[in-house]
Structure 1
Amino acid sequence: MSSSLHLEKVTPDNVEAACLLKVRPDQDGLVKPVAWSLAQAYAAPEVAWPRLIFDGERLVGFVMAFFDVRFDPDEPDDRLRSGLWRLNIAADEQGRGYGRFAVEAVCEEIRRRGQTRTTVTWVPGAHGPEKFYLKLGFRLTGEMSGDQVVGELELGDV
């Protein structure tokens, strides 16, 4: 993995390139396009943390975290959660450690904000990211968020 990996905010200068980023065709139904994610971030700026993943000057992916959200706002016992909301790695850039870098960056931001646990959801299926998240240490919680499986990772002491 390159030592020049970094996250950048989405800006007027890079938003078009971000919206053109495409995952593999077999992943299309498993993750929303970046443009959709940016619309969600615009609509929920108090919880969304969208970032572009660069290797040097090359855009290789998009990650968006969320902070302090309840999966079921109508359930008073549902705890606040923070975690990975969206991860899109360009089709021809997958398998090079960019996803791992993005997840680790989100976990670091969650730690920086004083939390010790991160959540992720994914659509189950043959081409889905379940093996990827389990390999990173996420465990299944047994919960569902809509049609998505919920995984959780303990981050340890902050």
Structure 2
Amino acid sequence: MSTPTESSSAPALRLEPVTPQNIDAALELKVRPDQEHLVAPVARSLAEAYAYGGTAWPRLVYDGERLVGFVMAFFDVVFQPGDQPLAGLWRLNIAADTQGRGYGRFAVEQVAAEIRRRGGTRVCVTYVPGEGGPAGFYARLGFRPTGGFSGEQAIAELELG
């Protein structure tokens, strides 16, 4: 697996807010067909970001001028009554033709950095468990299953050190 590099000849990876100038490209972003049942499309994510206001943090992932993904974090969400508010990764869509190049890892690392910047000490993620799902990806990044569920999605956490 090749990973993105930062050098004088290659632009750095970055996250950008969704704007009127890039929303059409964001809405065109598609995961592989075999992954469509695992993650909501960007259009749904943006509708949820609008509905949930300050809780949602939607961003586009760029490699130079090329849009390669979409990530959305959440802040101050309580899954169960009495729990502490959590922050984490709500949605991750990496374009079908750009997967396996480190863009998903970069996006998750940027979400973790934003959570840390806001004073958080852990990152939560929910995902569809089972064959073909992203459990292995998150495990390789250090996430550990909690044994809990949000609806039918498994919950995993990453402690920020």
Shorter-chain TM-score range: over 0.9
CA shift, 1:19, in A, is 0.6
Deviations 1:112-155 (A, max 9, x none): 00010110000012111100000000000010000000000000
Structure 1: 4+ residue segments shifted above 4 A? none
Q: Matches of 1:6 and 1:45 in 2, distance apart?
A: 23
Deviations 1:44-71 (A, max 9, x none): 1110000000000000000000001001
RMSD across aligned C-alpha pairs, in angstroms? 0.7
Counterpart in the other structure of 2:16 = 8
Aligned pair count reads 153
Unaligned runs of 5+ in 1: none
Q: Matches of 2:128 and 2:89 in 1, distance apart?
A: 14
**2:156 maps to which of 148, 151, 154:** 151
2:138 equivalent to 1:130: no
Q: Matches of 1:23 and 1:32 in 2, distance apart?
A: 10
Counterpart contact for 1:2–1:55, Cα < 8 Å: no
CA shift, 1:99, in A, is 0.2
Deviations 1:98-118 (A, max 9, x none): 000000000000000001011
**Matched letter for residue 154 of structure 2:** V
% same residue: 67
2:92 equivalent to 1:87: yes
Q: Matches of 1:128 and 1:114 in 2, distance apart?
A: 30
Counterpart in the other structure of 2:73 = 65
Unaligned runs of 5+ in 2: 7-11
SS at match of 1:46: helix
**1:30 maps to which of 31, 38, 62:** 38
